[in-house]
Amino acid sequence: MRRKFKDLPLRGVVLATALAVLTACGPKEPASEGGTPDLRRLTEEQYRNTIADVFGPTITYGGRFDPLQRTDGLIALGARTARVTPSGFEQYYALADSISAQVVDEAHRETLVACKPASATAADDACAQAFFGEIGRVLYRRPLTDGEIKTAVTAAHEVGTTTGDFYQGLAYGLAGMMTTPKFLFVVDATEPDPDHQGQVRLTSYAHASRLSFLLWNSAPDDMLLTAAEKGELYSKSGLEKQIERMVASPKVEGGVRAFFTDFLDLRKFETLQKDPVIYPAFNAKTGEDAKEQILRTITDHVATRDLDYRDLFTTRRTFLTPALARIYKVPAGRPDGGWTDYEFPDKDLRGGLLSQIGFLAVNAHPGRSSPTIRGRAIRETLLCQKVPDPPGNVDFSLFNDPDSPNKTARQRLTTHATNPTCAGCHKITDPIGLGLENFDGVGSLRMAENGEAIDPAGDLDGVAFKDPAGLAKAMRKSPAAPTCLVNRLYAYALGRPIETSDKDTVAYFQQVFARDGYRVPQLLRRIAGSDAFFKVRPPKADAATQAATNDSAPKENPS
């Protein structure tokens, strides 16, 4: 059985040596201007991960979060312009109320509240101070200031005294902490850069947050905060030590899943509906499984087995549940439920991400396939190319005519595209999307539509293919695919859109990604260990933002 690299002895030495050799021999990271500091609202997943990391998995809660706007191809970029609406705040408060009540209940207080009050029926400021100091450090991702601790302790004191219940007071103070922007927003706190006069740099704790949310999609743990406290993240060796520790952690899978969920816009599954008369085998559970299948396939390929990212477009290895197996028309490994691995035969038309139900069903209509939607998704999501929106007055009558002699989507689209207004964009999308016409609106294999044979031939940027397997190979060879991944991952890591000034840095990461054999974990290491990842520049004449940023910034070394 193959051992995971992280389990090998001396892996740190090997990695460090490899990285040093690569760095020495390969291209040098160019200087970066960095971006302006931002505030980013925690995503729902980050919120949940943080709560699970801090309080454990036995704290349960429901609730919904205000949705984030997908911007420049990523939800992560929408987080920087997100606000908290009044109803959204109510939700946050309800969540905080529920979570804090559980943290102090009799089932959890022994393990989650480190100190014991002198009396459970009266306020105990010393115990409260110890609790808020410890928990607040992880929630705020930095040590609390004296003022912040005092605010929480005072609130706990008043409620504890009024109710005659120390733990109620503690819960009240905790709920207050969890509803402040300091918890709900990740702040790019800055400080003057001592090495560069007139410039700013991220604080050590902001370093830790960037690392943690990139690699784990969660808040920094105690070790990372301690490293930040000691200033170790400012040194190359200290930073690399933390990166290696984090990449070796099982939590890195959460980071990989979060990025690909965002990159592939898997949020679409939340609202995915199919016509149950046309596709009786597809239901909400199938949709959940299809999303999970994509994520399992990706994490297995890029993280667990550390394989070439480009091979994701052709890999025949995947994972199935009975609900998915039914649509793929293959046997389920466990008919009673659960996941099993599966490998499509070598000459099967199916292989790679594009032929998975998750991609095919999401990028289709409720009752039929859509070469245009699928082609657009490939262009925009996987190749980072912009396809213009259709005009508002587009005439679909020829396409949708039920009496049309056109039986296949190719025939209907050919008729539809006789309109020159439509033809331009359809030329961009359809030759790719038609390559997936062997898969119906939920992704089941078919060779004919309305009794007429499907012609799945097409081309991707000049590379001709004759069937879905050919399209998969064309995607595998497309230079735009890995380039797109690098662009999106870098923007995701920074939490801001790529700017013109980032051009050289992005080109550098594209080069090293290729040199590293298109390995995503190594790309994560490269980005996390780069100067550009932490580089910030002062905001331009935006006094209000600067003031807010500085207010939120922790005082370094509060001890």
Partner 1 sequence: MSLRRSVLTLSILGLCACFAAPVAAADGGTLGFVVREWYIALHESKFMDECPEGLTMGNDEIWWRSAPKDFRAKVTDNGLARSSIRYYEVMDRGKNGEDVCLNPTSIVDPPLRVVEGKIGYGHNIDGTQDGHATAKTCKHDKFQSPDGKKTDIDNQMARLVGCSFGWRKTGMIQLNGNEVRATSGYGMVLMEVTGVNEKDPRNSDNVTVTFYRSIDQFAMDSAGQPLPFSTYRIDTLDGKPRYSDSLKGKITNGVLTTERGDVRLPAYDNFNFGHPTIKDMAVTLEIAADGSAGKGMVSGYYDVEEFWYLTAGVGQVLQTGQFSCPAMYVAAHKLADGYPDPKTGECTHLSVGYNVKAYAAFVQHPDKERRQATR
Return residues touching partner 1 (CB under 8 A): 276, 280-281, 283, 296, 300, 319, 322, 325-327, 329-336, 338-341, 345, 347-349, 445, 447-448, 451, 453, 467
Tell me the closest approach of the beta carbon of residue 319 to partner 1, in angstroms.
7
Nearest partner of 227 among 213, 240, 214, judged by Cα: 240
Tell me the closest approach of the beta carbon of residue 122 to partner 1, in angstroms.
50
Nearer to partner 1, 253 or 499 (CB): 253
Contacts for 359 with CB less than 8 Å, ≥ 6 apart: 264, 294, 353, 374, 377, 443
Nearer to partner 1, 146 or 341 (CB): 341
Tell me the closest approach of the beta carbon of residue 298 to partner 1, in angstroms.
13
Q: Exposed/middle/buried for 414, CB within 10 Å: 0-12, 13-18, 19+? A: middle
Nearer to partner 1, 342 or 534 (CB): 342
> Angle between the 520-528 and 236-248 helix axes, to the nearest 10 degrees?
150
Within a 10 A sphere around the Cβ of 448, how many other Cβ atoms?
A: 11
Tell me the closest approach of the beta carbon of residue 441 to partner 1, in angstroms.
15
| Strand bridging mode 200-202 / 190-192 | antiparallel
Tell me the closest approach of the beta carbon of residue 307 to partner 1, in angstroms.
16
Q: Helices in 104-221 by DSSP H: which ranges? A: 109-112, 125-139, 146-163, 166-178, 181-184, 204-215
Tell me the closest approach of the beta carbon of residue 362 to partner 1, in angstroms.
20
- Angstrom distance (rounded) from CA 211 to CA 241: 12
Nearer to partner 1, 156 or 332 (CB): 332
Residue 206 contacts residue 190 (beta carbons within 8 Å): yes
Nearer to partner 1, 119 or 340 (CB): 340
Nearest partner of 229 among 202, 212, 204, judged by Cα: 204
Nearer to partner 1, 328 or 518 (CB): 328
Tell me the closest approach of the beta carbon of residue 466 to partner 1, in angstroms.
9
Nearest partner of 370 among 335, 400, 334, judged by Cα: 400
Nearer to partner 1, 100 or 286 (CB): 286
Q: Exposed/middle/buried for 93, CB within 10 Å: 0-12, 13-18, 19+? A: middle
Contacts for 65 with CB less than 8 Å, ≥ 6 apart: 43, 44, 47, 88, 91
Nearer to partner 1, 330 or 428 (CB): 330
> Torsions phi, psi of 34, nearest 5?
80, 175
Tell me the closest approach of the beta carbon of residue 455 to partner 1, in angstroms.
11
What SS3 class is residue 431?
A: helix
- Angstrom distance (rounded) from CA 445 to CA 355: 10
- Angstrom distance (rounded) from CA 520 to CA 524: 6
- Angstrom distance (rounded) from CA 259 to CA 493: 9
What SS3 class is residue 366?
A: coil
Nearer to partner 1, 123 or 323 (CB): 323
Tell me the closest approach of the beta carbon of residue 525 to partner 1, in angstroms.
23
Q: What percent of the residues of the chain are helix, what percent strand, and what percent coil, each to the nearest 5?
A: 55, 5, 40
Nearer to partner 1, 300 or 499 (CB): 300
- Angstrom distance (rounded) from CA 526 to CA 542: 32
Nearer to partner 1, 35 or 322 (CB): 322
